Each structure stands twice: as C-alpha cells, then as structure tokens.
Structure 1
C-alpha cells in the first residue's frame, strides 16, 4: 500500500531520501549547493508529499540495488592494483625516502666530523621497518577466491 502524501514521515523516511540525494550528488545530478538546499528541505519535511517534492525532478534510485563498482581494465587487459596494495607501496616508499635522507645526513656528519659517528639512522628505520614488514606479511589478504 502506497503512503498517502498527507501522511507524516518518520526519521527513517527522511534518512532514506537524504541517502538518495547523496547518491544523486555523487552521480553528478546535483551540485553541492543544490544538495545542501535539498537536504535542509528533507529534514524540515513533515509528510510524504513534502519529501516527494524534494526529489520530484530526479530519477528514482533503489539504494538496495546500486550497481557494484568494478575496477577498470587497463589497455593490456589487467586490472590496476587495489587500494590496499597502493597504500602499502606508498608506505614503503615513505620509509625508504626517510631512511635514505637520514643515512645521507649521517654520512655528511661522519665525514665532516672526521670520525665515524654512531649509526643513529638504524633507530629511525629499524622499528619503523619492522612494523611495516609485519604489516606487509600479516596485514594483507591474498585471497584468490574473493569475489566468487
């Protein structure tokens, strides 16, 4: 049974309309300003009729059956690395860069002081690298059956 326009709307009804508006904004049908204005109208609405007016010029969206996102395929037929893999690579790159900078500073100090200085960069790269290694080995899942 369809709800009559004069029936009072619940908080859950307003939240569903707000979620639909967020999806319309994500798909480019609404600007950020329009989204803000409509969201304000949604939470001021008291009836189903008032809620329907907020989205009357937008297509219906079933929030339960949104299309699944699929990773794009590159021209060579392979999929780009996932976000976790990219994040891991970026973390290791930051570690390597910081370690290299510290070792260069250590070498400069050792050469200019005329004697070998205690290798303090080990205290920078050692614990950080150990934590990164544990995260790399145990933190990522390589489940080939994922998505089946």
Structure 2
C-alpha cells in the first residue's frame, strides 16, 4: 500500500506563479503606465521583473504601491475617509458588551413582567421602568466616549 503524503498548506506568496499570472501583472502595469502612475523606465523595469518572477510574492511586490486600475487619487482618498468615518462610529468593545448585557437584562425583565401581569388578576407594578436609569447612564457614557474619540481625531 502506498502511503499518501499529506501536503502542508502553502502560503500563497511562496507558490510558483504561472505565465497567465505574469501576464495579468504586466497588464496591470500597462494600465498604470497609461494612467501616468509609472514612468516608462519604471514600467520597463517592472515588466522585466514580472516576466522573471517565480513566485506570487515576486509578482505582488511589483504592484503593491499601485491603486486598483481606474481609481483616481480622489477615489482612494474618499475610500480611506469613509473607512476612517466607519471606524470612528464603531463603539469600543467594552461599551458593546455593556449594551448587550443591559439589553439582555431589560428583555428578561420585561418578559417576566409581562408574564406576571398576564397571570395575576390585579395591576402589577411596572418594575422594568427602573432599567431606564442604568440605560440612560450608559447612553450618556456612550455619547461622552464618542465625543472624546471625535475630538482626538
């Protein structure tokens, strides 16, 4: 019986590149030349290196400093600004945990109150209203943290 040799997962960068991969990089370099991102000398050097590349790492280093074809500097700046705004709006993990805990406690208390109110024949004190106190405090802390983060940017 022949033993099967288990191949270890290879990192993409160390894998050997094919002729079609080299051609794709050369095409991307040509688009960058056409857009004015590369000088003719840089283009010649990079294309020569692309066709001499053996691995994906050798190819990727040739286009790492180039944006996707067709993107202007304004497009790249707009994408970065949008990512920064998204990151600024994101709550810190500690606040996300606190909001999750508060929401779970509020849901359980309201559910228990509804069950008790439905099964008891008389009016039941609405104790879940007291959960608004820590909720308002948590809301104030959240607004304060977001304001501090906004000022630091």
Classify the TM-score, shorter chain: 0.3 to 0.5
TM-score norm. by structure 1 comes to 0.39
Instruction: State which structure, 1 or 2, has the greater radius of gyration over its C-alpha atoms.
Output: 2
